[in-house]
Amino acid sequence: MALDETTNKNKYSRSSLYTLISVFFFWGFLAASNSIFIPFCKGHFHLSQMESQLIDSAFYGAYFIGSFILYLSSVANGADVLNRIGYRKGIIYGLIISILGALAMISAVHSGSFALILGAFFLIALGFSMQQTAANPFVIALGDPATGAHRLNLGGGVNSFGTTLGPLIVSLFLFGSIAGAAKADIGSIDQLYLILAGVFLLVVLIFAFSRLPEVTTDEKFGKTNKATKALFLLTALLVAVIVTGFVTDVNRVWLLGACLAGVMVILIGSLVLAGKNGEGWGAMQYPQLVLGMIAIFVYVGVEVTTQSNLGALLKTPEFGSIDGAHIDQYASLYWGSLMIGRWVGAITVFKPKGLLKVVLTLLVPLLAFGVILGVNIIRGNEVSGLLPYLGCVAVLVAGFFLAAEKPARTLILFASMAMVAMIIGLSTTGIVSTFAFLSGGLFCSVMWPCIFSLSIAGLGKYTSQGSAFLIMMILGGAIIPPLQGSLADSKVGIHYSYIVPVICFAYLAFYGWRVKSVLKRQGIDYDASMDATHPEMD
């Protein structure tokens, strides 16, 4: 069946939602696993900090390539491919690609080639790009768009459960035991990816035979020649940077900085040109989307770079000289921080009211923190040193009450708090600085659903196309981490390279402020809509 717009706005099937968000777990599981692979591969292949970040570049760069291919296929067909085949089938096809990537990883790890490992990561993420392009608008389509951020938070909570378990399980396979070891055999992880391939296949079967609604349309999305040119220009920029990096000795900081500047110029230039004449720009004629594309780019970049460079930071004497086999304690705390925030953000999906809602807002983060402690206890880590982090969790909870579940306000408030946390981390060392940087995960936790729902608000027939454009911007995870890594390799050093997250969070706060007025000019007021849906929030 097809869901019409009225149905979307007034009801959704909980069973469909729960089936759909199962794929969110795997995205988080593998993304968080990179935090263990990066320091391991750095030592195993004798890489620089910048070179070790190529794992993130391969993984997140695939999101851009995959979404761009999907977009070009839609242009060739004259209609959005996902709109035509349906979100459910889009997820299934994406899972099949990820299965091929997981099987490729098994061969890659035995080859001992870092390049082949990067290729396998790329293929897995290529499938993820199609899954996410379909799954995010699908979640929003299963109910009132004004509360879509809450359903995405539920998916994000499941995603973060995967990110919390990811470092633990990968450490188990990589180092041979839950307690860890000083050395690891890279060939031992082939079992992990064989299991993952089997699980992906199981999920394919579940989606193939489940009774998920078919959200489809044959509506054409019009000419998008100008948007296509902008995206080709962006692709050419990325290719030029990659080729230049391999064939010349250009300073990597300047090269990656130029790449970042080029991405911003292309997107901001598109925003200005589309504002003068929207014809030919497709979804990019909407300023909330283009500004949101930059926001997703920056958000994914800051979420990834904060933890990806953490391993190198913690190895310094000022931060405890922690070896690679024990970094997972902090990696799980970072990704667990995302879980804490997303579990709290997902409470609204279950529609608690009054005092019950307040109690859950106070208790759920404690439950999530308990899960983090449990994971570390199983790992064999001493957890008493993590207990002071509850102070950071308390700040997060206060932020939820102040934000009152309004997407724009939430984004402004949490990005501002994250900026302050990063500045504290830059100004101190030791456990205070470590906790400050880790708390970036708390404040990042609910940013994705806020950005995503605000960016596609009012896009109508361009919603799937807009979703594809947003998923392309996961590219930020391929550029910003190696940029910070390059700064870390330079005279700036690993500690002060964390100025990069400060700048990223500053833009996210700006986007939250700017998009609210952009949507109001189009007659869209999410805050008013949410107040009407949830009067108890006042």
Q: How far apart are CA 527 and CA 538, in angstroms?
A: 11
CB–CB of 418/440 below 8 Å? Answer: yes
pTM, two decimals, is 0.80
Exposure letters 495-519 (e unless 16+ CB within 10 A, then b) = bebbebbbebbebbbbbbebbbebb
Mark out the alpha helices in 281-406 (DSSP H runs).
287-308, 310-314, 328-345, 354-379, 390-403
Amino acid at 216: T
Residues 217, 122 contacting (CB under 8 angstroms): no
Q: For the chain, give the longest Cα–Cα distance.
A: 63
AA identity, residue 399? G
Confidence of residue 213 (pLDDT cuts 50, 70, 90): low
Compare 292 and 210 and report the one with higher pLDDT.
Answer: 292
Predicted local distance difference test score (pLDDT) of residue 72:
84
First CA to last CA distance, the chain: 37
Of these ranges, 189-193, 213-217, 438-442, the one predicted with the greatest mean pLDDT is 438-442
Q: Are 212 and 19 in contact (CB under 8 A)?
A: yes
Does residue 98 contact residue 124 with C-beta atoms inside 8 Å? yes
pLDDT average, residue stretch 131-140: 78
- Chain center to CA of 277: 32
Of the candidates 484, 510, 534, the residue with the CA atom closest to the CA atom of residue 295:
510
Residue carrying structure tokens 């099949």: 96
What is the rounded average pLDDT of the residues 89-106?
A: 89
Higher pLDDT, 392 or 347: 392
Q: Mean pLDDT across the stretch 192-212? A: 81
Percent of the chain residues past pLDDT 70, beyond the cut: 83
Average pLDDT over residues 250-256: 82
* Interacting residues of 253 by C-beta distance below 8 A, sequence separation 6+: 483, 486, 487, 490
**CA nearest 128: which of 75, 206, 70, 173?**
70
> Mean pLDDT in the chain?
81
Q: Contact 515/454 with Cβ under 8 angstroms?
A: yes
Share of the chain above pLDDT 90, in %: 27
Residue 3 pLDDT class (50, 70, 90 cuts):
very low
For residue 111, give the nearest of 53, 170, 190 by alpha carbon: 190
Does pLDDT of 233 surpass 90?
yes
